């Protein structure tokens, strides 16, 4: 997977994608992150990329020219069969487990990080293949959401996680939260690890975990259970 990131702040990406699983995925060649400074396609001596909105109103809007040229330049420089231009924005479809899995299937993602009040509508309509949000909150730019996409997608790339299928074995794969985990010591400050986990009875442990997962989900995220294979997007995704 190649992640081409178009941003006014390339240096924000230095560090967060260097360590851990993502850093290793890059070192092993499963993932390439390429940063593109939008100013490179800016206009004039000051490399301007934004302007005031027609019709008035506060704030600035990213102009279409630099963003279109950035994508064209990336595609010319490195053509692939299946790529996807993703605009990060609070107006986008909310990203979830299934969405991440789907994005991981592309050979390349071109992630457009907006700033200010947003982007010219023609970017949304004619350049981006899709618009994604990481949640119903407003950030100062699309950079952190782009990092979240790269981080979450990396887990699904073949060879990145130790064992095949590990990406699916954690929370949300089955639409439930994880049951509690304990590690050594067996007693900590008067609080004991549930005996069943120390019993060696793998059948009983599996049943306990399934029960706790349902309980945790019911208490913390009842919305995840309110799908019986119909009605919600996740419910329908499960049907496939």
Among 137, 162, 189, 202, binds ligand 4GX (CB under 6 A): 137
Closest Cα partner for 31 from 118, 90, 106, 94? 106
CA atoms of 218 and 143, how far apart (whole Å)? 33
Query: What is the bridge-based pairing of β-strands 83-94 and 130-133?
Result: parallel
Radius of gyration of the chain (CA): 22
Binding status of residue 134 toward ligand 4GX by CB under 6 A = yes
Q: Helices (DSSP H) in 28-127: which residue ranges? A: 64-77, 97-103, 121-126
Work out the burial of residue 41: count CB atoms within 10 Å of its CB; fewer than 13 is exposed, 13-18 middle, 19 or more buried. Answer: buried
Which listed range, 66-74, 85-93, 171-179, 201-209, lies at the site for ligand 4GX (CB under 6 A)? 85-93
Among 89, 111, 155, 179, binds ligand 4GX (CB under 6 A): 89
Binding status of residue 125 toward ligand 4GX by CB under 6 A = no
Residue in the shown chain whose Cβ atom is closest to ligand 4GX: 114
Q: Which three-class secondary structure state does DSSP give residue 203?
A: helix
**# residues contacting ligand 4GX (CB under 6 A):** 17
Smallest separation (angstroms) from ligand 4GX to the CB of 137: 5
For ligand 4GX, the closer of residues 63 and 133 by Cβ is: 133
Binding status of residue 139 toward ligand 4GX by CB under 6 A = yes
Q: Helices (DSSP H) in the chain: which residue ranges? A: 20-27, 64-77, 97-103, 121-126, 143-154, 195-198, 202-220, 222-225, 233-239
Closest Cα partner for 6 from 176, 103, 123? 123
For ligand 4GX, the closer of residues 63 and 217 by Cβ is: 63
Among 65, 141, 180, 235, binds ligand 4GX (CB under 6 A): 141
Among 7, 63, 133, 179, binds ligand 4GX (CB under 6 A): 133
Asked if 31 and 158 touch (Cβ cutoff 8 Å), the reply is: no
Binding status of residue 70 toward ligand 4GX by CB under 6 A = no
β partners of residue 133: 94
Smallest separation (angstroms) from ligand 4GX to the CB of 231: 24
For ligand 4GX, the closer of residues 74 and 161 by Cβ is: 74
| x-or-dash string of contact with ligand 4GX, 90-119, rule CB under 6 A | x-----------------------xx--xx
Two tokens at 231?
């009605």
Which listed range, 5-13, 14-22, 139-147, 204-212, lies at the site for ligand 4GX (CB under 6 A)? 139-147
Residues that bind ligand 4GX (CB under 6 A): 87-90, 114-115, 118-119, 133-135, 137-139, 141-142, 145
């Amino acid at each position: 997977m190649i992640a081409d990131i178009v941003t006014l702040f390339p240096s924000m990406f230095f560090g967060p994608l260097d360590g851990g699983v993502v850093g290793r995925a890059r070192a092993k060649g499963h993932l390439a992150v390429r940063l593109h400074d939008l100013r490179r396609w800016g206009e004039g001596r000051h490399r301007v990329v934004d302007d005031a909105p027609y019709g008035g109103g506060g704030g600035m809007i990213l102009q279409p020219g630099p963003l279109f040229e950035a994508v064209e330049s990336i595609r010319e420089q490195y053509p692939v069969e299946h790529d996807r231009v993703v605009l990060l924005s609070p107006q986008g479809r909310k990203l979830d487990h299934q969405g991440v899995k789907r994005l991981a299937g592309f050979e390349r993602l071109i992630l457009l990080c907006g700033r200010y009040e947003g982007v010219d509508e023609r970017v949304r309509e004619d350049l981006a293949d899709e618009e994604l949000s990481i949640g119903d909150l407003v950030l100062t730019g699309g950079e952190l959401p782009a990092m979240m996409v790269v981080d979450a997608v990396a887990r699904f790339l073949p060879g990145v996680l130790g064992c095949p299928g590990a990406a699916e074995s954690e929370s949300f794969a089955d639409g439930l939260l994880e049951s509690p985990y304990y590690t050594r010591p067996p007693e900590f400050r008067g609080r004991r690890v549930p005996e069943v986990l120390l019993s060696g009875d793998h059948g009983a442990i599996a049943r306990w975990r399934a029960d706790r997962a349902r309980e945790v989900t019911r208490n913390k995220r009842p919305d995840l259970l309110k799908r019986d294979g119909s009605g919600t997007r996740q419910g329908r995704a499960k049907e496939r």
